Every structure is written in C-alpha cells, then in structure tokens.
Amino acid sequence: MFEFIALIIFIGLLWILNYMSNQKVKFHKRNLTAIALGILFGWALYAFLPQEAYQELKHYIRTVSNIYIRFLKLMIVPIVFISISHTLVNLSNDSNVGQRIGKIVAYFVISVTSAAAIALGTASIFGFDKIIDVSKFSTENISEGYANRIDALSDASLGNVIYGFTKNIPTSIFQAFSDNNIIGTLLVAMLIGMAVRRMNSRKPNEMGMVIKGLDAAKIIINSMTMTIIKLTPYGVLALMTMAVAEKGPSLFSDLAKFIFVAYFTMLLIFVMHLVVQMLNGVNPVKHLKNLMPAIITGFSTQSSGATLPVTINSLEERNGVDTETANIAASLGTTMGMNACGAMWPVFMIVLSVGVTNAMGGNLALYSPSVLITMFISVVISSFGIAGLPGTASFAAITAMTIMGITPEVMGIVLTFVLSVDSLIDMGRTATNIFGVSSAATFISKREGLMDMETFNKEN
C-alpha cells in the first residue's frame, strides 16, 4: 500500500515537471525544481516508507534515471566522432587545430595547479592533517574496494603513468566506439578529419560526398542530442530522490566539516574561473547562467562523460563558443584536467595522508619546499594520467599519493575515512570539473575572437 502511494506521488512529480515544460518554464529552473523535489521526496521516503517497500519502489525510480543516463552515454561516441570530424573537414586553411589543443591543455595545467593551491590552502586552514583519529582504524577495516585500487596502481612512476595513457590509443576503431573510449574516439575522428582534408584537393568529388554526409550527420546528431537533453529534469528528479532516500540525513551530516570544506573549496574554484572570465571580457554571471544545464546534469549524474552532450550543447548554443573549441575542450575534459577530481581531491588526500603518517610515528613536513613541489607535480601528472579509468577521483588521488611515497596502509585509512561521503562530494566534484572545462573552452574561444557574443548574451 505504502509503495503504491509513493509510486503515485513520484508519477505526480514527473507530471509537474512535464507541466512546467508545457508552460515553457526555463530549462535551468525546471532542473533546479527537480533537484528540490528530489531532495524532499527522497527525504520523505527515507523517513516514512518501510525499507522493504522502498527496495521495490526503487526499481521504478531507477528505471527513469537509467533511461536518462543510458541515452546520454549512447550519445558520447557519436557526438565526439561526428563533431570532431565535421569540425576538422570544415576548418579554414589558416586554422591550426594543433595550436588550439595546445592552448586548451595549457589552460588545463594552469587551472589544475591553481585549484590544487586553493585546496591546499583550505585543507591547511581547517586542519585536515589532524582530522583523522588513527586509533579508530586498523588494517582490517580498510575498504577492500580501495585496497584493490591501490594494488592496481602500485607502480605510479612517471614513466608508468605516461605508458598507461598510451593504452587509450585503440587497436580497433570499433573497439574504441564500443568501449566509449573518448580519447580513442577523438583520435580516430582527428585521423579521418585530417585524411578528408588532405585528400579533398586530389579527390574533390569523392571527398565532397563525405563532407556532405558529415554535414547531414551533424544535423541529425544535434537533433538527437536536443531530444535527450529535454529528459534532464526527469532524470535529475530520479537521481536526487534515490541519493537522499538511501542515506537520509546521513547524506548531509556524516563528516560535516569535511563536506563543508570540500564544497567551500569547490566554490572558490568556481570563483577563480569566474574572475578569469571577467578579466577576459566575459560577463561572469551570464557565463555561469549559460552553463547551468551542464552543471546541474553533472551534479546529478556524477559523470563528466555522461554529461558530455549537455556540456557541448551549453557551450555552443548558450555560451556562444565556436564548435571546434567546444567539442575539443569538452571531449578532452572528460578524461583530463579535472579541477576537482584531478586537483582538489588528490591534495585533500595527500594532506590527510601526511597527518595519518605523522600520527603513526612518521615524520613528513607538509610545508617543506621539496614536499610541496613533489605534491604539485604529482597532482598535475595524476590529473592527466588516468584517462579512461573508472573512479577518476580515487585513481587520481591514489596515483598522486603513490608518487608522494604514501604507504598503502595510510592510503587505505584515508580513503576509508572519506568513503561514506564520497558520493555526496562526487556530485560537486563533477559539477566543478565540468565548469572548469567549460570555462577553458570559453576562455580560448573568446581570446581567439571566435566566440559568438550575440548567442552568449541572448536570453535563454
């Protein structure tokens, strides 16, 4: 009975979102409404619905979120492949895509380093090196899942990290597509795009047919993407409902200080990018507003890859970023240069590790020049060396800690300490990653004089 009533309420909430859509309520307002309704409904389920009834109801709610996320993931490879290929074959002769990629990667390096510095500052101010009570941990209660990840990255030397990155080069075009290998798909698209450009002068008739085919495919992909993006509020409602219903108040209360500092740090990273946009002649408030669909989707899905269609659409259709920069930056940003997963999180884990190491009788001086230099180098390396691996933040943190010389036992204690709130913080991490990547695309596009300011300034 309780389950049936809860299901009717959930359907009613979906109807509310559909009604708002029919009334032409702005997209970002519908997403924010979905978040609020999901939190309230999830809290009600946690408080009043018996656990057995929720376990059955969860399948209905998960059906909605599963449809949304799977459709988003379905579009990753087609968007990257068609968009990059289409962009390359339509480049003007004086365009240099290599330089554009170099500028994007340079922005990633600078933003990751800056985000790491911000994270070090907040972790130090709030005493992260003393936050873990080592007496409450033992080798036996270290998370097995994290122990496996530590073993998998036992060799995190610079050479091994670089070698690991080359594994993203596909040995089969179809394997790159089937594995949703973004870097591999990007490489295939670039090779095909450059081949068409090179052969266009020799075989104009044949290449003209290919170019027209890519033009048509681009139109179809854009239309498909817009159809799927319209499902975002419904997916957000389902995802937020399950997140709150399964943990209840503990989602917001466990390790409250750590959660607060993490989100405060991410807020500062947002501010950093907004200041950069302002200095670049871009209205920071409008920039943030234009990217809100991608930020909210990333927050809900906890996946930069799954959010890729929304990110590219927000950059092109709302922020006025040129197609070339938007597609390259967004695609690369799903696997590298992540400000939260690749910078903030590893720094937090290193500071916590130093505290645990010293509490266990070690002697690590966190603020010595050699330790600081090693930490920043390891963070930058780890943020670029984990492309294509699941659990991005954890792998980045473990890679950076291994380079720092942190023992597996200390890593296990630290990662076990944050495990209970990792999902909640990962919502913010993904949103921060997406905003940083989108800010990189906007910065480069504006600097190159390619940004459509009319599109940027229009009311969405």
**Residue 398 in tokens:** 């473990």
- Secondary structure of the chain: what % helix, strand, coil (to 5)? 80, 0, 20
Dist. CA 184–CA 192, nearest whole Å: 12
Please check the confidence at residue 145 and state whether its pLDDT lies above 50: no
55 neighbors 3 (Cβ within 8 angstroms): no
Mean pLDDT of 71-86: 82
Name the pLDDT band for 118 (thresholds 50, 70, 90): very high
Q: Where are the beta strands (DSSP E) in 72-166?
A: none
CA distances from 430 to 305, 315, 328 (A): 10, 17, 18
User: Which residue's entry shows tokens 């010595």?
Assistant: 368
91 pLDDT band (50/70/90 cuts)? low
Which tens digit of pLDDT belongs to each residue from 411-433?
Answer: 877 877 787 677 778 889 999 99
Report the C-alpha gap between 236 and 68 in whole angstroms: 9
Among the ranges given (156-165, 220-229, 315-324, 434-443), the one the predictor scored with the smallest mean pLDDT: 156-165
Distant-in-sequence, close-in-space partners of 346: CB < 8 Å, separation ≥ 6: 116, 378, 379, 382, 383, 396, 397, 399, 400, 401
Residues contacting residue 148 through CB under 8 Å, at least 6 positions apart: none
Structural tokens at position 45? 């389920």
User: Quick one: what percent of the chain has pLDDT higher than 70?
Assistant: 87
Contact 226, 313 (CB under 8 A): yes
**pTM assigned to the model:** 0.77
* Distance in angstroms (rounded) separating the CA atoms of residues 213 and 206: 11
- Per DSSP, the chain holds a count of helices (H) and strands (E) of 22, 0
- Least confident range from 118-122, 273-277, 284-288, 307-311: namely 307-311
| pLDDT beyond 90 at 263 | yes
Report the C-alpha gap between 299 and 428 in whole angstroms: 6
Please give the helix or strand (H or E) that residue 429 lies within, else none: helix 422-447
Closest CA to 349 of 284, 417, 437: 417
Candidate from 256-260, 298-302, 359-363, 382-386 with smallest mean pLDDT: 382-386
**What is the CATH code of the structural domain delimited by 2-457?**
1.10.3860.10
The distance from CA 301 to its chain's CA centroid, rounded to whole angstroms, is: 9
Residue with tokens 């959660």: 259
